[in-house]
Structure 1
Amino acid sequence: MPPKKQSHQVTMALPAGEAPVAELGKMLGMTGVNLVALKKEYDARTVAQRGEIVPAVITIFDDRSFTLKLKTPPTSFLIKQATNGSKTLSHDQLRAIAERKMPDLNTTDIDAAMRTVAGTARSMGVKVS
Structure 2
Amino acid sequence: MPPKRSIHQVTLQLTAGAAAVAELGKMLGQTGVNLVEIKRRYDELTAAQRGDVVPVRVTVFDDRSFALQLRTPPTSFLIRRALGAAGSARPGHDTAGTLTSAQLRAVAERKLPDLNTDDLDKAVRIVAGTARSMGVRVQG
- What TM-score do the two structures reach when normalised by structure 1? 0.98
Give the aligned partner of residue 26 of structure 1. 26
Give the aligned partner of residue 96 of structure 1. 106
Give the aligned partner of residue 130 of structure 2. 120
Tell me by how many angstroms 1:32 deviates.
0.4
Paired residue type of 2:62: D
Structure 2: distance between partners of 1:63 and 1:80: 40
Aligned length: 129
Paired residue type of 1:81: R
Structure 2: distance between partners of 1:104 and 1:91: 20
* Equivalent position SS for 2:67: strand
Give aligned-pair identity as a percent. Answer: 66
* Equivalent position SS for 2:8: strand
Give structure 1 regions of 4+ aligned residues with deviation exceeding 6 angstroms: none
Structure 1: distance between partners of 2:114 and 2:106: 14
- What TM-score do the two structures reach when normalised by structure 2? 0.91
Tell me by how many angstroms 1:24 deviates.
0.3
Q: Once the two structures are superposed, what CA deviation does each residue of 1:87-110 show, in whole Å capped at 9, x if it has no partner?
A: 111100000010111100010000
Tell me by how many angstroms 1:26 deviates.
0.6
Paired residue type of 2:75: T
CA RMSD of aligned residues (A): 0.7
Give the aligned partner of residue 45 of structure 2. 45
Tell me by how many angstroms 1:44 deviates.
0.4
Alignment of 1:13-92 (within 5 A): 13-85=13-85, 87-92=97-102
| Structure holding more helix per residue | 1
Structure 1: distance between partners of 2:18 and 2:137: 32
* Equivalent position SS for 1:93: helix
Structure 2: distance between partners of 1:75 and 1:125: 14
Question: What residue ranges of structure 2 are gaps of 5+ in the alignment?
Answer: 86-95
* Equivalent position SS for 1:68: strand
* Equivalent position SS for 2:46: helix
Give the aligned partner of residue 108 of structure 1. 118
Paired residue type of 1:25: G
Structure 1: distance between partners of 2:35 and 2:2: 25
